[in-house]
Structure 1
């Protein structure tokens, strides 16, 4: 995927501010993944069936999506239910357990819908650049609004 100038897509291209949510109230990991998927659906990246596929993958393979302490990357394999490569990002109001031995509980959840493997890898690289700093992770946890989350993520705020 490339941006409008032909250069690699920026995080802002992959993660519109409309797909960012702060203080999301959920009780379970399934609700967290569903909320993440709902943002992907709302921004035209995926269908509701893709969200079902993300949840089914966790039931099948376990909490493999909890890739860092307090952080989960909800995703499933590319399928016809992915309409465009895109991401969502949520800060949960309360920590949620996914069942991961080391990285639970989770307070930050990103959703990823990718049309193919290379789009998947590019999106992950973009997110990893932002999340590689412990200070940035702390800022994401402390953010009080969507606009604050967008500022930390380096994407344009909502209009």
Structure 2
């Protein structure tokens, strides 16, 4: 089973040219999960509130934000979605192009899928492919579990 089938289906991956602000990016990134009722509006608002309260701590690498809120609150099904914005979005003085939403039902069950996803992001070549924002290449990357030829 590929990551695309299980953790990050292609219809939960979005690529856009630009977005107005980071709050809009958070909403847009969570939209595929909201439409499937994997998360509620409360979860999206919690992610925004968390950044407003604690600063841009979710920006964990250059241009990369791992968006999340407290596990379980507003999460109906463990899931992830990805938004790549070609023009960097300012998240409290941190430029971000990659918004990965992690919706966890509890503090443990998501760790394995997060680890497999992060393995892809930590590879420099893969990271560059994601940053470039070609959706079919990104889907292919996750489909192959990061082993792009």
Q: CA distance change for structure 1 residues 18 and 27 in 2, over 3 Å: closer, same or farther? A: same
Question: Which residue pairs with 1:23 in the alignment?
Answer: 16
Q: Does 2:121 align with 1:128?
A: no
Q: CA distance change for structure 1 residues 139 and 152 in 2, over 3 Å: closer, same or farther? A: same
Q: Does 2:68 align with 1:68?
A: no
Q: Where in structure 1 are there 5+ consecutive unaligned residues?
A: 4-8
Question: Which residue pairs with 1:84 in the alignment?
Answer: 77
Q: Among residues 54, 57, 76, which one is paired with 2:50 in the alignment?
A: 57
Aligned-residue Cα RMSD (Å) equals 2.1
- For 1:155 and 1:75, locate their aligned partners in 2 and report how far apart those are by CA, in whole Å: 25
Q: Does 2:133 align with 1:153?
A: no
- For 1:11 and 1:118, locate their aligned partners in 2 and report how far apart those are by CA, in whole Å: 21
Q: Residue 129 of structure 1: CA displacement? A: 0.8
Question: Which residue pairs with 2:98 in the alignment?
Answer: 108
Which deviates more from structure 2 when the two are superposed, residues 82-91 or residues 11-20? 11-20
Q: Residue 61 of structure 1: CA displacement? A: 0.9
2:4 touches 2:10 (CA, 8 Å); kept in 1? no
Q: CA distance change for structure 1 residues 143 and 18 in 2, over 3 Å: closer, same or farther? A: same
- For 2:4 and 2:76, locate their aligned partners in 1 and report how far apart those are by CA, in whole Å: 18
Q: Residue 80 of structure 1: CA displacement? A: 4.0
What is the TM-score of this pair, normalised by structure 1? 0.82
What is the TM-score of this pair, normalised by structure 2? 0.87
- For 2:138 and 2:3, locate their aligned partners in 1 and report how far apart those are by CA, in whole Å: 16
Aligned length: 145
Question: Which residue pairs with 1:35 in the alignment?
Answer: 28
